[in-house]
Structure 1
Protein backbone atom coordinates (compact mmCIF):
# COMPACT_ATOMS: atom_id res chain seq x y z
CA UNK A 1 0.00 0.00 0.00
CA UNK A 2 2.88 2.40 0.72
CA UNK A 3 4.22 2.27 -2.87
CA UNK A 4 0.75 3.01 -4.23
CA UNK A 5 0.27 6.04 -1.96
CA UNK A 6 3.72 7.36 -2.80
CA UNK A 7 3.05 6.87 -6.52
CA UNK A 8 -0.20 8.78 -6.14
CA UNK A 9 1.61 11.72 -4.50
CA UNK A 10 4.35 11.54 -7.11
CA UNK A 11 1.89 11.65 -9.98
CA UNK A 12 -0.02 14.59 -8.57
CA UNK A 13 3.20 16.63 -8.59
CA UNK A 14 4.24 15.22 -11.98
CA UNK A 15 0.94 16.22 -13.56
CA UNK A 16 1.19 19.71 -12.11
CA UNK A 17 4.79 20.03 -13.32
CA UNK A 18 4.03 18.81 -16.85
CA UNK A 19 0.60 20.33 -17.45
CA UNK A 20 -0.04 23.02 -14.82
CA UNK A 21 1.67 25.67 -16.91
CA UNK A 22 -1.08 25.34 -19.53
CA UNK A 23 -3.18 27.53 -17.26
CA UNK A 24 -0.50 30.26 -17.43
CA UNK A 25 0.04 30.79 -21.14
CA UNK A 26 1.25 34.36 -20.58
CA UNK A 27 4.24 33.20 -18.52
CA UNK A 28 7.61 33.15 -20.24
CA UNK A 29 8.72 29.69 -21.30
CA UNK A 30 11.95 29.76 -19.29
CA UNK A 31 9.97 30.63 -16.13
CA UNK A 32 7.61 27.73 -16.78
CA UNK A 33 10.55 25.37 -17.31
CA UNK A 34 12.27 26.40 -14.07
CA UNK A 35 9.02 26.17 -12.10
CA UNK A 36 8.27 22.76 -13.61
CA UNK A 37 11.73 21.47 -12.67
CA UNK A 38 11.19 22.62 -9.10
CA UNK A 39 7.87 20.81 -8.92
CA UNK A 40 9.38 17.74 -10.60
CA UNK A 41 12.01 17.58 -7.84
CA UNK A 42 9.21 17.10 -5.33
CA UNK A 43 7.73 14.44 -7.60
CA UNK A 44 11.03 12.54 -7.57
CA UNK A 45 11.10 12.70 -3.78
CA UNK A 46 7.95 10.53 -3.85
CA UNK A 47 8.65 8.43 -6.97
CA UNK A 48 12.08 7.14 -5.98
CA UNK A 49 11.00 5.90 -2.53
CA UNK A 50 7.82 4.43 -4.05
CA UNK A 51 9.86 2.32 -6.44
CA UNK A 52 12.51 1.42 -3.88
CA UNK A 53 9.98 0.37 -1.23
CA UNK A 54 7.81 -1.47 -3.75
CA UNK A 55 10.78 -3.36 -5.16
CA UNK A 56 11.98 -4.33 -1.67
CA UNK A 57 8.44 -5.53 -0.86
CA UNK A 58 8.55 -7.92 -3.81
CA UNK A 59 7.02 -5.95 -6.66
CA UNK A 60 8.81 -6.37 -9.97
CA UNK A 61 10.00 -3.34 -11.91
CA UNK A 62 7.32 -4.08 -14.51
CA UNK A 63 4.60 -4.17 -11.87
CA UNK A 64 5.78 -0.87 -10.45
CA UNK A 65 5.84 0.71 -13.91
CA UNK A 66 2.36 -0.42 -14.97
CA UNK A 67 0.96 0.67 -11.60
CA UNK A 68 2.59 4.06 -12.07
CA UNK A 69 1.04 4.35 -15.54
CA UNK A 70 -2.45 3.59 -14.24
CA UNK A 71 -2.07 6.09 -11.41
CA UNK A 72 -0.78 8.64 -13.95
CA UNK A 73 -3.79 8.13 -16.18
CA UNK A 74 -6.27 8.53 -13.31
CA UNK A 75 -4.53 11.63 -11.92
CA UNK A 76 -4.23 13.17 -15.38
CA UNK A 77 -7.90 12.50 -16.18
CA UNK A 78 -8.97 14.25 -12.99
CA UNK A 79 -6.58 17.13 -13.66
CA UNK A 80 -7.81 17.53 -17.23
CA UNK A 81 -11.41 17.49 -16.06
CA UNK A 82 -11.10 19.72 -12.98
CA UNK A 83 -8.27 22.11 -13.85
CA UNK A 84 -8.15 22.27 -17.64
CA UNK A 85 -11.93 21.82 -17.96
CA UNK A 86 -11.50 19.16 -20.67
CA UNK A 87 -14.23 16.51 -20.83
CA UNK A 88 -13.52 12.83 -20.24
CA UNK A 89 -14.70 10.81 -23.22
CA UNK A 90 -14.83 7.25 -24.42
CA UNK A 91 -11.21 7.35 -25.62
CA UNK A 92 -10.10 8.12 -22.06
CA UNK A 93 -12.17 5.27 -20.70
CA UNK A 94 -10.84 2.96 -23.42
CA UNK A 95 -7.26 3.88 -22.59
CA UNK A 96 -7.92 3.23 -18.92
CA UNK A 97 -9.45 -0.16 -19.70
CA UNK A 98 -6.37 -1.09 -21.76
CA UNK A 99 -4.07 -0.07 -18.90
CA UNK A 100 -6.07 -2.14 -16.41
CA UNK A 101 -5.77 -5.07 -18.81
CA UNK A 102 -2.01 -4.54 -19.01
CA UNK A 103 -1.82 -4.49 -15.23
CA UNK A 104 -3.75 -7.75 -15.07
CA UNK A 105 -1.09 -9.35 -17.28
CA UNK A 106 1.76 -7.92 -15.18
CA UNK A 107 0.27 -9.17 -11.90
CA UNK A 108 -1.01 -12.53 -13.20
CA UNK A 109 0.47 -15.46 -11.33
CA UNK A 110 2.02 -13.37 -8.58
Structure 2
Protein backbone atom coordinates (compact mmCIF):
# COMPACT_ATOMS: atom_id res chain seq x y z
CA UNK A 1 0.00 0.00 0.00
CA UNK A 2 2.85 2.41 0.83
CA UNK A 3 4.41 1.71 -2.57
CA UNK A 4 1.19 2.61 -4.40
CA UNK A 5 0.69 5.73 -2.26
CA UNK A 6 4.30 6.80 -2.85
CA UNK A 7 4.02 6.34 -6.61
CA UNK A 8 0.66 8.15 -6.70
CA UNK A 9 2.07 11.11 -4.78
CA UNK A 10 5.11 11.18 -7.08
CA UNK A 11 2.83 11.29 -10.13
CA UNK A 12 0.88 14.21 -8.63
CA UNK A 13 4.09 15.97 -7.63
CA UNK A 14 5.61 15.61 -11.06
CA UNK A 15 2.44 16.78 -12.75
CA UNK A 16 2.68 20.07 -10.87
CA UNK A 17 6.41 20.25 -11.57
CA UNK A 18 5.95 19.83 -15.32
CA UNK A 19 3.23 22.49 -15.36
CA UNK A 20 5.45 24.85 -13.33
CA UNK A 21 8.49 24.30 -15.54
CA UNK A 22 6.89 24.07 -18.98
CA UNK A 23 3.28 25.24 -18.70
CA UNK A 24 4.21 28.89 -19.10
CA UNK A 25 5.41 28.10 -22.62
CA UNK A 26 1.83 27.23 -23.56
CA UNK A 27 0.13 29.73 -21.25
CA UNK A 28 1.85 32.51 -23.18
CA UNK A 29 -0.83 31.96 -25.85
CA UNK A 30 -3.34 33.49 -23.43
CA UNK A 31 -3.65 37.23 -24.00
CA UNK A 32 -3.40 38.30 -20.35
CA UNK A 33 -0.52 35.91 -19.66
CA UNK A 34 1.53 37.02 -22.67
CA UNK A 35 1.70 40.55 -21.21
CA UNK A 36 3.41 39.40 -18.01
CA UNK A 37 7.10 39.97 -17.45
CA UNK A 38 9.62 37.28 -16.61
CA UNK A 39 9.49 37.97 -12.85
CA UNK A 40 5.71 37.49 -12.83
CA UNK A 41 5.99 34.24 -14.77
CA UNK A 42 8.69 32.99 -12.38
CA UNK A 43 6.50 33.82 -9.37
CA UNK A 44 3.48 32.05 -10.90
CA UNK A 45 5.63 29.00 -11.67
CA UNK A 46 7.01 29.12 -8.14
CA UNK A 47 3.46 29.12 -6.77
CA UNK A 48 2.61 26.06 -8.87
CA UNK A 49 5.84 24.37 -7.74
CA UNK A 50 4.75 24.75 -4.11
CA UNK A 51 2.16 22.07 -4.82
CA UNK A 52 4.90 19.87 -6.23
CA UNK A 53 6.65 19.97 -2.87
CA UNK A 54 3.39 19.32 -1.01
CA UNK A 55 3.26 15.93 -2.74
CA UNK A 56 6.99 15.21 -3.22
CA UNK A 57 8.02 15.51 0.42
CA UNK A 58 5.29 13.18 1.75
CA UNK A 59 5.99 10.71 -1.09
CA UNK A 60 9.63 10.48 -0.09
CA UNK A 61 8.85 10.25 3.62
CA UNK A 62 6.23 7.53 3.13
CA UNK A 63 8.26 5.59 0.57
CA UNK A 64 11.69 5.71 2.26
CA UNK A 65 12.76 2.38 3.76
CA UNK A 66 14.12 3.96 6.96
CA UNK A 67 10.67 5.49 7.60
CA UNK A 68 8.94 2.14 7.16
CA UNK A 69 8.46 2.46 3.40
CA UNK A 70 9.37 -0.05 0.72
CA UNK A 71 12.07 1.89 -1.18
CA UNK A 72 15.73 2.71 -0.68
CA UNK A 73 16.82 6.27 -1.36
CA UNK A 74 18.31 5.29 -4.73
CA UNK A 75 15.14 3.44 -5.71
CA UNK A 76 13.05 6.49 -4.81
CA UNK A 77 15.22 8.70 -7.00
CA UNK A 78 15.07 6.37 -10.01
CA UNK A 79 11.28 6.05 -9.63
CA UNK A 80 10.96 9.82 -9.41
CA UNK A 81 13.04 10.37 -12.55
CA UNK A 82 11.13 7.80 -14.60
CA UNK A 83 7.79 9.20 -13.41
CA UNK A 84 9.02 12.70 -14.31
CA UNK A 85 9.83 11.64 -17.86
CA UNK A 86 6.55 9.77 -18.31
CA UNK A 87 4.51 12.71 -16.99
CA UNK A 88 6.54 15.07 -19.19
CA UNK A 89 5.94 12.90 -22.28
CA UNK A 90 2.18 12.77 -21.65
CA UNK A 91 2.07 16.52 -20.95
CA UNK A 92 4.01 17.25 -24.12
CA UNK A 93 1.76 15.13 -26.31
CA UNK A 94 -1.47 16.45 -24.79
CA UNK A 95 -0.62 20.14 -24.36
CA UNK A 96 1.94 20.73 -27.11
CA UNK A 97 0.35 19.04 -30.07
CA UNK A 98 3.32 19.89 -32.31
CA UNK A 99 5.53 17.29 -30.59
CA UNK A 100 5.63 13.69 -31.81
CA UNK A 101 7.16 10.47 -30.58
CA UNK A 102 9.86 9.02 -32.78
CA UNK A 103 11.41 5.54 -32.56
CA UNK A 104 14.42 6.85 -30.63
CA UNK A 105 12.06 8.22 -27.95
CA UNK A 106 10.41 4.83 -27.56
CA UNK A 107 13.81 3.13 -27.34
CA UNK A 108 14.91 5.58 -24.65
CA UNK A 109 11.75 4.80 -22.64
CA UNK A 110 12.49 1.10 -22.93
CA UNK A 111 15.93 1.74 -21.47
CA UNK A 112 14.33 3.68 -18.62
CA UNK A 113 12.09 0.72 -17.89
CA UNK A 114 15.18 -1.49 -17.89
CA UNK A 115 16.84 0.97 -15.48
CA UNK A 116 13.94 0.57 -13.06
CA UNK A 117 14.04 -3.22 -13.46
CA UNK A 118 17.76 -3.37 -12.65
CA UNK A 119 17.39 -0.88 -9.80
CA UNK A 120 14.99 -3.23 -8.01
CA UNK A 121 16.84 -6.45 -8.88
CA UNK A 122 18.60 -8.03 -5.91
TM-score tier after normalising by the smaller chain length: over 0.9
Unmatched runs of 5 consecutive residues or more in structure 2:
29-33
**2:51 is the alignment partner of 1:51:** no
TM-score after normalising by structure 1: 0.93
CA deviations over 1:4-60 (Å, ceiling 9, x no partner) = 000000010000000000013323211110011001110000001001100021310
Q: How does 1:6-45 map to 2 (within 5 A)?
A: 6-25=9-28, 26=34, 27-45=36-54
- Give the Cα–Cα distance (whole angstroms) in 2 for the partners of residues 63 and 100 of structure 1: 13
3-state DSSP of counterpart to 1:58: coil
Aligned residues: 109
Q: State the alpha-carbon separation in 2 of the partners of residues 2 and 93 from structure 1.
A: 27
Task: Look at both structures and tell me which one has the larger radius of gyration over its CA atoms.
Answer: 2
CA RMSD of aligned residues (A): 1.1
* Moved >4 Å (runs of 4+): none
Mean CA deviation greater in 83-92 or 35-44: 83-92
Question: C-alpha separation between the residues in 2 aligned to 1:91 and 1:47?
Answer: 30
